[in-house]
Amino acid sequence: MNSNALYFFGYLGVFNGLILSIYFFFFTAKKHLSAYLFGALLLMLTIRIWKSVAYFFDYNLSKTYLQIGLTACFFIGPFLYFFTKAETAQIRKIPRSWIQQILFCLIAILTVGAIFPYQSSAPVWGHYIIPAIYMQWGIYVAASLLLIIPVLKRITKKEPVKPHEKWVLAICALVSIIYACYIWSFFNLTKGSYINGAIWFSLAIYLVVFALLYRKKTNDLFFENTRKYIDKKLDQTEAERMIGRLQKAMIEKELFKNPNLKVNDLAKEINISGAQLSQLLNDNCEKSFTVFVNEYRINEACRILSENSNLTIEAIGEEVGFNSKSTFFATFKKIRGLTPSAFQQSMSTDL
């Protein structure tokens, strides 16, 4: 990529980042803590990237601008962590401890900047302050990644993940990549790597724009907007009617045999959303979507095993909708309390 393209691409990302941060601060349909935190995160990243692009194309840039960019950098980690925590822990009101952390960071970086201005203390910044800023950023990134481990585990188990959880995963991943680019550049591991952070930021901004344009809304990008149904339970009679329709669809169409069955696929059968189906099962069956489907699979497996089928146990697991033998065995034992082989032997003994 030539210099003109990099210049255009970098500054376009900065401009779009600024517009998006303003959008999340002032123009989202509903005002939520997560939206404000995300807007703040975008603003800090935008200022940091602006400094990077400006400095990359003008090494004589005033050190005052460099200090502004690095000051903003000091807040990227905290706002990433607060945003991630707000979404994963479903926090609606900013905790006092967060306000205290933000004020502490603000006072600390302004005090250090006043005592050691970059313009006259560049060596101090290069040897001590900048490494401290990157270390603090890295600590918050690591803390944010720890928060999303439960979501990653659900993905590996092929369990449903909500849109706002995917949104958080994407933001954490992109900020981590940007951080890695700056660390890579700080240690001068690759010539010209300094601009990579700006490139990744621009790509991230285009991803956000695409998500907004594609969805034409931000209603499911924050957990607060997914609670509309959750905060309102169905009438018992209506819930029983919907469960009856759900059970009928599962039995007559044998939907459970689809190994790739998703919560939204099943929800469509009774004309509700995936979030509504999950809440319906939790409130009225006290089961997750995965447990609900697996019970049908195990019941069908028991029926086949009791008929002395010529199918192998592994083939039976595949027949009823399991992707792997190990998952079939583990689920069977969890629900029935014994292995498929033991169940088959017990049925033979009864005969």
Q: How far apart are CA 12 and CA 18, in angstroms?
A: 10
- pLDDT tens string 176-217: 988 988 888 888 765 555 667 677 777 777 676 666 655 544
Interval 155-170 mean pLDDT: 82
Q: What is the pLDDT of residue 83?
A: 94
Question: In 3-state terms, what secondary structure has residue 324?
Answer: coil
Q: Kindly report the CA angle at 326 between 297 and 309, in degrees rounded to 5?
A: 50
DSSP for 120-159?
A: T-HHHIIIIIHHHHHHHHHHHHHHHHHHTHHHHHHHHTT-
Q: How far apart are CA 100 and CA 95, in angstroms?
A: 9
DSSP E strands in the chain: the ranges are none
CATH number, domain 3-227, options 3.10.20.30, 2.60.40.1480, 1.20.1070.10, 1.10.510.10: 1.20.1070.10
- pLDDT tens string 89-103: 888 889 999 999 999
Q: What is the pLDDT of residue 218?
A: 52
In this structure, of 13-22, 32-41, 117-126, 196-205, the range with the lowest mean pLDDT score is 196-205
Helix (H) or strand (E) holding 67: helix 63-88
Query: Cβ atoms within 10 A of the Cβ of 39, count?
Result: 21
Q: Kindly report the CA angle at 168 between 133 and 66, in degrees rounded to 5?
A: 25
pTM, rounded to two decimals: 0.63
CATH number, domain 233-350, options 2.40.50.460, 3.40.50.720, 1.10.10.60, 3.40.50.970: 1.10.10.60
Q: How far apart are CA 140 and CA 168, in angstroms?
A: 15
Q: What is the pLDDT of residue 20?
A: 83
Q: What is the pLDDT of residue 226?
A: 53
Looking only at Cα atoms, what is the longest distance across the chain? Answer: 91
Which residues are CB-neighbours of 176 under 8 A, at least 6 positions away? Answer: 141, 145
DSSP for 42-66?
A: HHHHHHHHHHHHHHHH-TT--HHHH
Q: How far apart are CA 152 and CA 165, in angstroms?
A: 10
Interval 133-150 mean pLDDT: 95
Q: What is the pLDDT of residue 7?
A: 72
How many residues make up the chain in this entry?
351
Phi-psi region of 311 (alpha: psi -120 to 50; beta: other; left: phi over 0): beta
- pLDDT tens string 101-110: 999 999 999 9
Domain residue ranges in the chain: 3-227, 233-350
Please answer whether residues 286 and 293 qualify as being in contact, where contact means their C-beta atoms are separated by less than 8 angstroms: no
Please answer whether residues 140 and 77 qualify as being in contact, where contact means their C-beta atoms are separated by less than 8 angstroms: yes
In terms of Cα–Cα distance, which of 274, 280, 248, 259 is closest to 331? Answer: 259
Interval 162-169 mean pLDDT: 84
Interval 289-302 mean pLDDT: 92
What's the number of CA atoms in the CB half-sphere (13 Å) around residue 190? 11
| Mean pLDDT taken over the chain | 83
- pLDDT tens string 210-268: 666 555 445 556 655 555 444 455 667 888 888 888 888 898 899 999 999 988 888 88
Q: How far is CA 1 from CA 7, 8, 201, 206, 270, in A?
A: 10, 11, 16, 18, 51
Which residues are CB-neighbours of 267 under 8 A, at least 6 positions away? Answer: 273, 274, 276, 277
